[in-house]
């Protein structure tokens, strides 16, 4: 079953315009959500807004939005004024520059969207994807939609394009805010052992289908038991080990192998299906296509 587009846009670079469709990359319904209930009767609760001054319940038609410019002081805006503040939705992804993929720090990456070609844009869509692939560059653009302006990155992905929303500079905390003590000197013997441990569990590729959300699976299992009338109890806390001697811990770790029991085995059918279903967001380099004829 084909995915349903959540919107349309136009990618532009130079004088070239490419109509595209936007598709979400995430599967919905994967999270477990709880509703707030009345403990006495089990009925679902209804959210209400209460005035902090007079304690009255305020209905939605009596609400207004305001911006707090000073403590307890607000600029109140009407609906028409709020619309005037919204960014004008151009739905145009205007590529302003191209940079090496490695030039974009991963800390700036936010949500991602698949881009598919819209009617009439197939050739230009394929051209842009192949050109970025062979140059090793990705496009940076501004994009206005849903009343906001975004900075986005457009990159080749598989046989198409992927758009990733980026955070603005003022939305990312500086690393300098992280308290860092003076780090001790690393001994060569410790570093060599640590590198060996990394190498013995290293893989050439990342296979996301191998990993499962054990916490969610356990929660669903307990919820099912509760629904069947069984009692559920909290799992005992796992004792936390303390590293007394770093060198001894490294030596002990070196003798360990991959724990096959840590990740549940899956059938070849499940693995194949998951590989088709789950996105692989890390960019891959491909061998340039040979010219035909």
pLDDT digits (tens, 9 = 90+) for 54-110: 889 998 888 888 888 888 888 888 888 777 766 566 788 999 999 999 999 999 999
What's the pLDDT at 33? 81
130, 129, 113, 97: which is closest to 13 by C-alpha? 97
Query: What value does the mean pLDDT take over residues 238-244?
Result: 62
Q: Where are the chain's structural domains?
A: 7-26+86-167, 186-203+247-256
Calculate the alpha carbon distances from 156 to 6, 139, 229, 278, 281 in Å.
20, 10, 51, 17, 11
What's the pLDDT at 149? 86
- Average confidence score pLDDT of the chain: 81
What's CA 166's distance to the chain center, in Å? Answer: 11
Residue 147 has pLDDT above 90, yes or no: no
d(CA 205, CA 7): 32
Name the fold adopted by 7-26+86-167.
Ku70; Chain: A; Domain 2 (2.40.290)
Query: pLDDT: is 182 or 284 the higher one?
Result: 182
pLDDT band at 225 (very low <50, low <70, confident <90, very high): confident
Residue 289 has pLDDT above 60, yes or no: no
What's the pLDDT at 110? 93
pLDDT band at 217 (very low <50, low <70, confident <90, very high): confident
Query: What value does the mean pLDDT take over residues 33-54?
Result: 88
Residue 2 has pLDDT above 80, yes or no: no
């Amino acid at each position: 079953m084909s995915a349903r587009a959540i919107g349309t846009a136009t990618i532009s670079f130079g004088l070239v315009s490419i109509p595209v469709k936007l598709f979400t990359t995430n599967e919905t319904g994967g999270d477990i959500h709880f509703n707030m209930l009345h403990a006495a009767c089990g009925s679902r609760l209804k959210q209400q807004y209460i005035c902090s001054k007079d304690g009255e319940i305020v209905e939605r038609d009596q609400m207004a939005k305001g911006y707090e410019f000073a403590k307890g002081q607000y600029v109140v805006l009407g609906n028409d004024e709020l619309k005037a503040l919204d960014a004008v939705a151009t739905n145009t992804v205007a590529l302003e520059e191209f940079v090496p993929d490695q030039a974009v720090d991963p800390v700036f990456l936010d949500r991602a969207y698949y881009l598919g070609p819209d009617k009439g844009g197939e050739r230009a869509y394929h051209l842009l994807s192949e050109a970025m692939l062979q140059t090793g560059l990705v496009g940076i653009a501004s994009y206005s939609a849903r009343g906001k302006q975004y900075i986005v990155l457009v990159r080749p992905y598989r046989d198409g394009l992927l758009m990733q929303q980026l955070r603005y500079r003022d939305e990312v905390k500086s690393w300098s805010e992280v308290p860092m003590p003076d780090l001790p000197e690393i001994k060569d013997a410790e570093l060599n052992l640590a590198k060996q441990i990394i190498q013995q569990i290293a893989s050439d590729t990342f296979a996301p289908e191998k990993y499962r959300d054990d916490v969610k699976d356990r929660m669903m299992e307990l919820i099912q038991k509760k629904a069947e009338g069984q009692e559920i109890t909290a799992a005992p806390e796992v004792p936390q080990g303390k590293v007394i001697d770093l060198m001894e811990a490294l030596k002990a770790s070196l003798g360990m192998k991959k724990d096959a029991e840590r990740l549940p085995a899956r059938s070849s059918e499940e693995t194949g299906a998951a590989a088709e279903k789950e996105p692989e967001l890390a960019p891959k380099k491909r061998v340039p296509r040979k010219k035909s004829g």
